[in-house]
C-alpha cells in the first residue's frame, strides 16, 4: 500500500544516527517526507548519513519545523507511537490494524506517523494532537523500542496490502481545523468561567481524546464552529475570526 502521502514526524530526536536509520526505513517502505520537530539530532551529521544508506535523499530533504502543530498541518489522520500502557485510551489501535486504517482514508488524504524523543517518547500534549495512538507489544521485560526500530515496524504494518474497507462519504477534518475548533470551545469555556487554571490541561486532554474518538468530518467541525459563534453572540462576545 502506498505511503507517499504519509509523513514521518520525529519529535525532539537526540541521536543523529536514528535520523539516518529512520530515513532508510522510509526508503524501504515508500514514505518520502521526513520532518524533525526540535531536538539536537542533525540530519547533516556524518553519523546520520552513515545509517541512512539508500535513504540519503530523504535524509538530505529533512524538514526542520519548530512546532508539532505546524508539522501536522493538512493531515486528517495522525498516528502517534507510544510505549506507555494505554489500554483504556479510546483512540488506541493495534499495529496490525494500521493498514486497514490507512486504507480507509480517501485518495489524496495526508497522514502522519509521529514518534517521540528516545528517552521519554511523546508528551501528553503531543498525544492530544493525534487521532490515533499505537503501542508495539513486546513480550520481554523492556517495552520501549529503539526509535528507528519502532518506525520500521509501524511503516511496514502501514504498507501492507489489505482489503479496503468501505470509506465514509464525509471528508475528514484536517488537524489544524480540529485544533482551532478545540481552541474555540475552550475560549467559550473561559468566558463563562467553567475552566479553572489548574484543571485546564486535564480537561484539554480529555476533550482531545473525545474528539479523536469521534473522527470528525470537515462539515461537522464547521457545524460546531457555527454553534460556538452563536453562543458567543448570545454572550455578547464577538466571535473570533475563523482560523
Domain boundaries defined on the chain: 6-159, 175-235
Q: What are phi and psi of 114, to 5 degrees?
A: -115, 125
**Distance separating alpha carbons of residues 115 and 121, to the nearest angstrom:** 7
Q: Buried b vs exposed e over 130-146: b needs ≥16 C-beta within 10 Å? A: bbbbbbbeeeeeeebbe
User: Which residues partner with 93 through β-bridges?
Assistant: 134
Query: Can you tell me the distance from the alpha carbon of 56 to that of 121, in angstroms, rounded to the nearest whole number?
Result: 25
Q: Averaged over 70-88, what is the pLDDT?
A: 83
Best mean pLDDT range from 9-13, 130-134, 158-162? 9-13
CATH code for the part of the protein at 6-159: 3.40.1280.10
pTM: 0.75
Give the per-residue pLDDT at 40. 94
When the pLDDT of each residue in the chain is averaged and rounded to a whole number, the result is: 87
Place of cell 462539515: 219
Q: How far is CA 111 from the centre of its chain?
A: 8
Intrachain domains 6-159 and 175-235 with the same fold: no
Confidence of residue 90 (pLDDT cuts 50, 70, 90): low
Q: What is the pLDDT of residue 31?
A: 96
Q: Tell me which residue of 24, 67, 71 sits closest to 47, measured CA to CA.
A: 24
Q: Which CATH architecture has domain 175-235?
A: Orthogonal Bundle (1.10)
Amino acid at each position: 500500500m502506498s505511503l507517499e502521502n504519509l509523513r514521518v514526524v520525529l519529535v525532539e530526536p537526540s541521536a543523529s544516527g536514528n535520523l539516518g536509520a529512520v530515513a532508510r526505513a522510509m526508503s524501504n517502505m515508500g514514505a518520502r517526507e521526513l520532518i524533525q520537530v526540535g531536538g539536537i539530532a542533525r540530519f547533516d551529521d556524518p553519523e546520520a548519513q552513515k545509517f541512512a544508506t539508500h535513504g540519503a535523499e530523504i535524509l538530505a530533504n529533512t524538514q526542520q519545523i519548530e512546532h508539532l502543530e505546524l508539522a501536522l498541518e493538512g493531515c486528517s489522520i495522525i498516528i502517534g507511537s507510544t510505549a506507555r500502557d494505554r489500554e483504556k485510551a479510546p483512540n488506541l489501535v493495534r499495529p496490525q490494524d494500521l493498514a486497514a486504517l490507512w486504507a480507509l482514508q480517501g485518495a489524496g488524504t495526508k497522514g502522519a506517523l509521529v514518534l517521540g524523543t528516545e528517552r521519554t517518547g511523546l508528551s501528553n500534549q503531543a498525544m492530544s494532537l493525534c487521532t490515533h495512538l499505537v503501542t508495539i507489544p513486546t513480550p520481554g521485560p523492556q517495552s520501549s523500542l529503539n526509535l528507528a526500530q519502532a518506525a520500521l515496524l509501524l511503516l511496514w504494518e502501514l504498507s501492507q496490502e489489505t482489503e479496503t474497507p468501505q470509506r465514509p462519504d464525509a471528508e475528514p477534518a484536517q488537524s489544524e481545523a480540529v485544533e482551532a475548533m478545540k481552541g474555540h470551545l475552550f475560549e467559550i469555556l473561559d468566558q463563562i468561567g467553567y475552566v479553572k487554571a489548574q484543571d485546564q490541561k486535564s480537561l484539554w486532554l480529555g476533550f482531545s481524546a473525545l474528539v479523536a474518538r469521534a473522527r470528525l468530518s470537515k462539515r461537522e467541525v464547521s457545524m460546531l464552529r457555527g454553534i460556538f459563534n452563536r453562543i458567543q453572540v448570545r454572550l455578547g462576545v464577538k466571535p473570533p475570526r475563523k482560523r
